[in-house]
Structure 1
């Protein structure tokens, strides 16, 4: 397995949930880690660089890039974990909310890739991790817009993988129901882990999967990982 100590990483959405758990495990492994999030708390991993950023804002991504270059340098690992949910009918929902979800989940990831991956290419090595969802490719009532953004990310990830061969590895991690504040922060809808009824993963379990992929030898690429509570139907 590859040692990660001494590498540099940036984690979007690293202020809470899955992103925070990934940032914590990276830090424990000796990775210099920058956390980018719209909301930062006081209990983030010790030693991490904390940067406020709204990934849906193009200018904010530009500012994030400059701050990371100054405080960290070119990252070896880019984790795109920032995400936003919406749960409403396509015939009744609010297009402004849909646009916000698209700007965060899809455009935010694309902008992060555009900002940070060219530096990895110049270095000749790096890892990109995109946190997707089992909702990718899965139509379900009230979930059309969210699922569409995650489906699009699957295509983006595979396109990126082909474009950055052979030096950059691309991994998509698609969790099922996970016990985070995600459902509390959805723009509309009243789902909870309890109301879904499948049980839930912990953020740390998802982070374990990410670290498993990152620790593989440089010649081994884990491109897709799906994990879910055993009782989850889809």
Structure 2
């Protein structure tokens, strides 16, 4: 194994949930912009990519430790951390399954927290870094059957702002809140029956969201776009 110091990288990005959907689009655009990209996901990418895949369940402490060791030993410290791994759920609070709620909260909240805990100390040590957290317009938006998912995304907004306060001026924290996006998100939603068509507001593409991420990252270091909402124009919330 080669020491990290022998592998200087102009910019290294870690993208959780980067095998599909919004995460995949972000990974592709970061790679196209010349970044070295590590995709951390439970799912193996279905297509060849310039990004490197590392199997990782972000809810598993051992997987996070293995990811951290792999990156540290081979590449050093990441410059960009994109926390995109997540899952939706639609269940009534009075009728749903708390075990399923726990699964979503572990992934959406604790998965993000574990990644932050693993990689932001190195960013602070090297004197710069960017953390991108994929939230949702559902954050702070109460709606029937959506309480658990909305709560998880609301928590991410608070976590992102807390991280910004704790790490400024070294780390820029960027929260992206997409509206309806045409990915496999709805197919993977637990107990959910919505589709892009049934929602009826049109949809963004994953590339639309990724371009927003790249726009925020490409700003001068003294400029922080801390919270960006991107949604289909007809979407009311």
Q: Which TM-score applies when normalising by structure 2?
A: 0.95
- Cα deviation, 1:144-168, whole Å, max 9, x if unaligned, reads 0000000000000000000001111
**59-68 vs 109-118, which deviates more?**
59-68
Equivalent position of 2:76 in the other structure = 73
Structure 2 spans left out of the alignment, 5+ residues: 1-8
Find the residue that maps to 1:36 and give its secondary structure. strand
**5-14 vs 126-135, which deviates more?**
5-14
Q: Which TM-score applies when normalising by structure 1?
A: 0.96
Distance 1:227 1:6, change over 3 A: same
Structure 1 spans left out of the alignment, 5+ residues: none
Deviation >4 Å, runs of 4+: none
Equivalent position of 1:187 in the other structure = 190
The Cα of 1:44 is off from its aligned counterpart by 4.4
Separation (CA, whole Å) in 1 of partners of 2:192 and 2:131:
31
Aligned residues: CA RMSD? 1.0
Aligned with 1:203 (options 189, 206, 221): 206
Within-5 A mapping of 1:193-232 = 193-232=196-235
Find the residue that maps to 2:140 and give its secondary structure. coil
Separation (CA, whole Å) in 1 of partners of 2:60 and 2:236:
35
Are 1:40 and 2:61 counterparts? no
Give the conservation status (yes or no) of the 8 Å contact 2:45–2:53: no
Aligned length: 229
Aligned with 1:146 (options 144, 149, 160): 149
Give the conservation status (yes or no) of the 8 Å contact 1:56–1:100: no
Find the residue that maps to 2:88 and give its secondary structure. coil
Separation (CA, whole Å) in 1 of partners of 2:49 and 2:181:
20
Equivalent position of 1:22 in the other structure = 26
Equivalent position of 1:86 in the other structure = 89
The Cα of 1:71 is off from its aligned counterpart by 2.9
Are 1:130 and 2:133 counterparts? yes
